[in-house]
Amino acid sequence: MSTSLTDEAILAAAGRVAEPPRPVPFAFAKRHGVLVRALTEQSADVVMRAGASPIALAEVRRHLRRPLTVERADADRFETLLRQAYEGGSSAAMDAMGGLEEDTDLGSLAQEIPSPPTCSRARTRRRSSA
C-alpha cells in the first residue's frame, strides 16, 4: 500500500519549514496593526502597532510558521513603516497587497458573479416544455 505525500509534508518530515503561500496582505497589516519587516528561516521580524491585538500577532505566527521577533511602535511610526513597506513599488510588496484594497466592496463583487442554474429551474423548464 503506498501513500502520497505533499511537498509540505515532505519538508515537515525533513525538519524544514515550507514558505507561506504569500506574505501578510496589506489590508490585514493595516487593519490589525502587524507588519512583517523581514523573514529568515529561523524567525520573522515583526512590528506591532500600540494597541494591536495579540490574537493578530498569533495569526501572523501561524501563517508564517516560525517564531516572531516583535518590535512595538506607536501609531504614527507604524503607519510610516507600513507605508514604506507597501508603497515601495517592489513587486513583492505589490503582490502582498493581494489585489483587494481595504475599501473594496465585496458585496458588489459578489453581485457580479453569475448564479449557476439550480435543479429547481431545470425541473421548471422541463415541466413547461412538456
Q: Are 8 and 18 in contact (CB under 8 A)?
A: yes
Give the C-alpha distances (Å, rounded to integers) separating 102 from 28, 29, 32, 106: 9, 10, 12, 10
Q: With a cut of 60, say whether residue 123 has pLDDT above it.
A: no
39-82 pLDDT tens trace: 888 999 999 999 999 999 999 999 999 999 999 999 999 999 99
Mean pLDDT of the chain: 74
Looking at residue 69, its pLDDT comes to 95
Looking at residue 70, its pLDDT comes to 96
9-43 pLDDT tens trace: 665 555 555 544 457 899 999 999 999 999 888 99
Looking at residue 107, its pLDDT comes to 61
Share of the chain above pLDDT 70, in %: 50
Select the more confidently predicted residue: 47 or 116: 47
Q: pLDDT band at 113, cuts 50/70/90?
A: low
Sorted by where each begins, the domain ranges of the chain are 7-99
Q: With a cut of 90, say whether residue 4 has pLDDT above it.
A: no
Q: Which CATH architecture has domain 7-99?
A: 2-Layer Sandwich (3.30)
